[in-house]
Amino acid sequence: MVSYNLLTEPWITSIDLSGNPVQEGILATLKNAHKIDSIFDPAPPVEFGIYRLLIAFITDVFQPQGLEDLADLLDRKRLDPTALDEYAARWRDRFDLFDEKYPFLQQAITGVIKKPPEPISRLMQHLPAGTNVSHFHHGRWDENSFSFEQCAKGLVTIAPFMTAGGAGLSPSINGSPPWYVLVKGNNLFETLLYNVCQIPMTVKPIGDSPVAWRNDKRIDPGDEPKTFSIVEGLTWRPRIIQLIPGNGKGTCTYTGEKDVDTVSHMHYYPGQKSPEPGLWVDPQVAYKKTKDAIRPLRPDENKALWRDIGPLMLLQHGDYSGKDGKVSFDRPAVVTQYKQMVSNGMIKRSEPLRLEVYGIRTDGKMKIYEWYHEKLALPIEILKKANSGRQIQDAMDLADSVAYILRKAMKKAYPRNAKSNESGFDNLILSVQSSYWSHLKGQFESIFLKTLSQQDENDLDAYTKLMEQWKKILDDTGKNALDKGLGPLDTDGDSLRRQVKAMNEYSSGIRFALYPDSIQAKKKNRQKNKEDK
């Protein structure tokens, strides 16, 4: 019988504290977690999927019941190998990709086979399969074969990153994939425990369903669970899958590895449906709340990740309400937990809070545009300040206003009735805004965050001083971006007049957005002068 057990087979690549790659199974990786820096895979969805699996695994092994239990585990400086071995001995068969009853993260298909097997390509969403676009992949999607190792890596991406896939094929528990954050420690041991969530969630998980590999309950296509535990959410099964091992050895078409056991096809059916928004809160996800809905924060094509530092690292409900009071944010629960543990001395660190953030950008359905793996860091002094999140979000709101003003100004430089090169001019506007944001990022990190970290919370004018400094930076950065955008344009009379209009539009927009008090003061002075006359 074919067998590939993920507890012992060397399918996980990690980087040790000396920077060397190591390949081990689940058990060895966890036993050596205190000697390992991080998990590594060239594909970010796989890398995060492995982290997510290991977090669910140690949550189920050690079952902490609060922050004190979590702190006790951290104090031990390594994961207890005896506890890991005892758990592995009890559940060993459940980690075999080809177990007859309970194949790992799959479901044994019994009875009548209702449809032909699907090509294994569907297991890796970033590969073209079916009607997906075939950029840079010009082979037949139904001629792929994956090694057992690659199949394991594909399976762990399903829970966090599965998108909608057509009729009856629901996305995973978070709907369209959101930004996922991973709170980083000094080694893999710390990183995993920092992301085992033990604080009350804004939406309390109801139910005690076990982690997927211990759950004996069979899934029916389209199942809609109404209650679920955190570990069930971490190992959600939006697809019913069963791998079909091939005959003999071959080449893995994903990695190019030769002379390995492969899988070319699998049974593939709809699985659990994603819950309605508001019934589940993911501990590694930030949320945006409006009057009508609560939605996960997701990748945005035109918004660099650093601009969401407030929602991802600082803001909680009530800290910020937007200009109209209708928008608020909740940072990921694991970030809130980290702050609590630092504040009460359970974690003794003076280094910055470090996050690694993973995501894939989609069209909201099954089309995938790009994947992300980015890093964020925040001085611990800022994390501890009570109002730092609001100050950062206010700063970002002002920065957004200037980006909008740049767009309006650049449109003034375009001939009103011209149509021939409209798309080209739209690209120029995007280029101007991109230049603005890229230059602003460095100043935000080197000036704004530095000033905020040194801010005296007893200084009642500290907020005003910081915002005035920031407004000057925004104005100067916006002017430079506008000048660069206007520079290559024609120099005939009509074009120059339009460019002057663009500069005037920018200046008036800046006064209104950044210095509204000065406009009101001028209006009052004019009114007073009229009355005096």
Domain membership flag for residue 325: no
Give the DSSP letter string of 221-238. TT---S---HHHHHT--S
Contact call for residues 24 and 14 (beta carbons, < 8 A): yes
Beta carbons within 8 Å of 35's beta carbon, 6+ residues apart: 16, 17, 187
- For 86-95, write each residue's pLDDT tens digit: 999 999 999 9
Q: Are 191 and 353 in contact (CB under 8 A)?
A: no
* pLDDT at residue 136, rounded to an integer: 44
Burial of 345 by CB count in 10 Å (0-12 exposed, 13-18 middle, 19+ buried)?
Answer: exposed
Bridge-based pairing of strands 146-147 and 260-270 is: antiparallel
Q: How many CB atoms lie within 10 A of CB 359?
A: 25
Confidence at residue 204, expressed as pLDDT on a 0 to 100 scale: 67
Give the H/E segment covering residue 500.
helix 493-514
pLDDT digits (tens, 9 = 90+) for 326-355: 899 999 999 999 999 999 999 987 889 999
First to last CA, the chain: 101
Say what the pLDDT of residue 135 is.
Answer: 44
Angstrom CA distances, 375 to 148, 253, 352, 357, 362, stand at 30, 31, 12, 6, 21
478 domain-assigned: yes
Domain for residue 205, yes or no? no
Q: Contact, 8 vs 25, CB < 8 A?
A: yes
For residue 446, the 8-state DSSP code is: I
> Taking the model in full, what pTM does it have?
0.91
510 found inside a domain = yes
Res 303: pLDDT: 93
Q: Could you give the count of Cα atoms lying within 13 Å of 123 in the half-sphere of its Cβ? A: 32
Q: What is the CATH number of the domain that holds 405?
A: 1.10.132.100
In a domain, 492, yes or no: yes
Q: What per-residue string of b and e applies to 410-437 under the rule 16 or more CB within 10 Å gives b?
A: bbbbbeeeeeeeeeebeebbeebbebbb
Beta-strand pair 328-330/239-250: unpaired
What the block records as the tokens of 14 is: 């990690």
Q: Would residue 192 count as lying in a domain?
A: no
- Give the count of domains, the chain: 1
Predicted local confidence at residue 128, as pLDDT: 57
Domain-embedded: residue 403? yes
Write out the residue range of the structural domain in which residue 425 sits. 387-533
- The whole-number pLDDT of residue 227 equals 78
The whole-number pLDDT of residue 528 equals 47
pLDDT, residue 518, reads 64
Q: Which amino acid is at 154?
A: G
Residue 214 domain-assigned (yes or no):
no
Residues of the chain whose pLDDT is less than 70? 112, 128-142, 204-206, 416-424, 518-533
pLDDT tens column, 180-221: 999 999 999 999 999 999 998 777 666 789 999 999 999 999
